[in-house]
Amino acid sequence: MLTKSNYRESSLFVKWAQKKMPSHPGVSYVKGVGALTRLHWKSLRSDNRNLNREMAKKLCKNKPGSGSCDEYPFSSTFQGCFAARTCEVTLIDLDHNRGAGTALAKFLRENRIVATDPYWVYVR
């Protein structure tokens, strides 16, 4: 769960992206929506995650302003920019981006979400 009180820019972006994308990936409050699935096999993780990030970075080059490139769905999912061929990107504060990424990694680890396990993202 992301909250607007911590990592505000990342939280607002994820909530916006979830609403904007026609498939609403990872949204728990829309009936029939697919979960995000964790990309965690070592053999696939680095290749696919890097491809997801590279695609997001290319898309971010067209964004005005400065900041850290954030993408949704996350690069650590099978639904990431490269894998799904659709995503939303924006430039946000680097600390917010890193903090939200760290919080996501902690959530996945503490809840034992492993390769291909489904999960949803709720922003409050």
Per-residue pLDDT, 88: 92
Range 110-121 average pLDDT:
89
Read off the pLDDT of residues 79-95 as tens digits, 9 standing for 90 and up.
888 877 788 999 999 99
Distance between CA atoms of residues 85 and 52, nearest Å: 9
Domain borders along the chain are: 8-25+35-119
Read off the pLDDT of residues 15-64 as tens digits, 9 standing for 90 and up.
999 988 878 888 876 666 788 988 876 655 556 677 888 888 888 887 77
The residue written with tokens 């916006």 in the block is: 16
Per-residue pLDDT, 64: 75
Q: Which of 109, 112, 101 is nearest to 2 (CA)?
A: 101
pTM of structure:
0.83
